[in-house]
Structure 1
Amino acid sequence: MTLSVPGLSPLPASDRAKTVMTALADYIAQSGLRPGERLPTERELMQSLAVGRSTVREVIRQFQALGVMESRKGSGTYLLRGISSDTIHMPLSIDAGTLREGLLSTLDIRRGLEAEAGALAALRRSKADLEIIEDRLVAMEKVHLAEGTSGKYDLAFHLSVYDASHNPMFGQLLEQMREAFERFWSKPFDRPDFAGRSFPYHRTLFEAIAAQDAERARRETLTILEIVEEDIREMSQDTAPQSDKVQK
């Protein structure tokens, strides 16, 4: 009995797992499969793609690790969020009990990425890169001074620093975490005083990049993130229910 799935066809032998990921992502996007709906069975995927069970299971495990799919014992594998064939842009999910824990987890990743991106930007930036970074900084400063918060402008500034590193992987990794990063600017952290203390250090980071001082750029980046962590810890205390504050 043939169990082939329309829209899926046998794959070449080379790099099977990677090819299966792309093919399955294409299938999900083109078939209109929605979050909460069940994917084809392992056997259907094996026959449609002409690959072994171990390859199918490996790919499903990778999607599960990305928070894209969920396997339910005795029921099958279900889609948790939409994806495209450009798997590098699949969003990462953070399994945290509270917003505070999630933001602090994200911050750990930002330290590793942004400090190195800032240092590389200082070493590799071109004149054109520097102009873009400064334009983004000026726009951020203008909005911050007028409104007190500048979430999307702050993100745009950091994206320009990533671009100036001339390593596309930085930007791609940030895209995976964009949703988590943008939560920094959601309630209860959409207050004018959030990131206010770190705001001046964006200018000094730009100056370090302009001076091609990699170590200073790294230090300025870490200073920004250290202050942001302090703000998160302080503000999460301010917004916690009174019972929680008493317990703490």
Structure 2
Amino acid sequence: MAALPIASAALATLPRTHRTADAVAALGAFIGEAALQPGDKLPSEHEMMAALGVGRSTVREAVRHLQALGVIETRKGLGSFLLTKVSGSTRHVPLHLETGQLRDALLQTLEVRRGLEAEASALAAERASAADVEHMRVALEEMERVHLQKGTAGREDLAFHLSIYDASGNPLFRQLLEQIREAFEHFFEKPFDRSDFAGRSFPFHRELFDAIAAGDAQTARAKTLAILDIVEEDIKDMSQ
């Protein structure tokens, strides 16, 4: 069994099922057991692959997951570093939704998303720094470019909204909303086999950005709700 020791802690080879989730769990437990402190460097990508017995894509997915939780950051050319002290027990528990009735489950998540996303947008309008606004602008322009080219921009849309959650100054928005999105990862790749899903919400994203950049919390909240209203309408229309 391959293992990478740091003090008394080690990463152990994982079984072949649920590898990404298991890799996240193993890394979270390892951080706690190794008593790593904020600023400490994590094992390299190759060391994680060898120790866990998984491929590069699994390691990268696990690292991205911990980045989204605000646990680690990756610095280009330097590696991954711990941002906040955690243990295996402080990692989030993934959402488990019954997707047999996809339409109903999606509508249930919208009820939760409305409160979270509207508040995140309002806080982003109140708190966003110049750097946050620039990050949002770049993400929005990439979303617009891809949308105009392909008619859809799922991943780019997510990146734009993640930039808003980050600008809110509260990492819980990103953690909670990414968990909701993860539960329907395959749906968002090809929603109801329609490439134009929620396409009517496209113009509202620019208006949402403008409101946040202007510090207008009330309008930012309203534009977010307008986007989610269109998502709800399309879920109902396309799933009949």
TM range (shorter): 0.5 to 0.7
Question: Does structure 1 retain, via aligned residues, the 8 Å contact 2:95–2:180?
Answer: yes
In the alignment, is the contact (CA less than 8 A) between 2:107 and 2:232 conserved in 1? yes
Amino acid at match of 2:120: A
Between Structure 1 and Structure 2, how many residues are aligned? 166
Deviation of residue 109 (structure 1)? 1.6
**In structure 1, what is the equivalent of residue 112 of structure 2?**
109
Q: 1:126 to 1:205 in 2, by over 3 A?
A: same
- For residue 154 of structure 1, report the CA deviation from its aligned partner: 0.5
User: 2: CA distance between counterparts of 1:137 and 1:146?
Assistant: 14
Q: Does 2:192 align with 1:189?
A: yes
Unpaired runs of 5+ in structure 1?
Answer: 1-25, 37-81, 238-248
1:135 aligned residue (135, 138, 145): 138
Structure with higher Rg: it is: 1
The counterpart of 2:124, out of the listed 121, 126, 130, is 121
Residues 1:158 and 2:131 aligned together: no
In 1, Cα distance between the equivalents of 2:98 and 2:90?
20
- Paired with 1:202 and 1:139, the residues of 2 have a C-alpha distance of 12
Instruction: Give, in whole Å, the separation in 1 of the partners of 2:199 and 2:156.
Output: 14
Q: TM-score, normalised by structure 2?
A: 0.62
Q: Sort the Cα spacing of 1:103 and 1:135 in 2 relative to 1 into closer, same or farther, 3 A.
A: same
Partners of 1:149 and 1:190 within 8 A in 2: no
Q: Distance in 1 between matches of 2:89 and 2:185?
A: 21
Runs of 5+ unmatched residues, structure 2: 1-8, 19-61, 67-87
Amino acid of the structure 1 residue aligned with 2:103 = R
Residue 220 of structure 2 is matched in structure 1 by 217
SS in 2 for 1:159: helix
Q: Distance in 2 between matches of 1:229 and 1:215?
A: 21
Deviation by residue 1:176-212 (Cα, 9 ceiling, x = unmatched): 2231253442344352321110111000000100110
Contact 1:106 1:180 in 2 (8 A): no
C-alpha distance 213-189 of structure 1, shift in aligned 2 (>3 A): same
State yes or no: 1:144 paired with 2:176: no
Q: Secondary structure at the match of 2:197?
A: coil
The partner residue of 1:172 within 175, 179, 185 is 175
Distance 1:184 1:108 in 2: 18
Matches of 2:130 and 2:220, distance apart in 1:
17
What RMSD over aligned residues (CA atoms) do the two structures have, in Å?
2.7
Q: How far apart are the structure 2 equivalents of 1:94 and 1:208?
A: 33
What TM-score comes out, normalization by structure 1 length? 0.60
Work out the percentage of aligned pairs sharing the same amino acid: 61
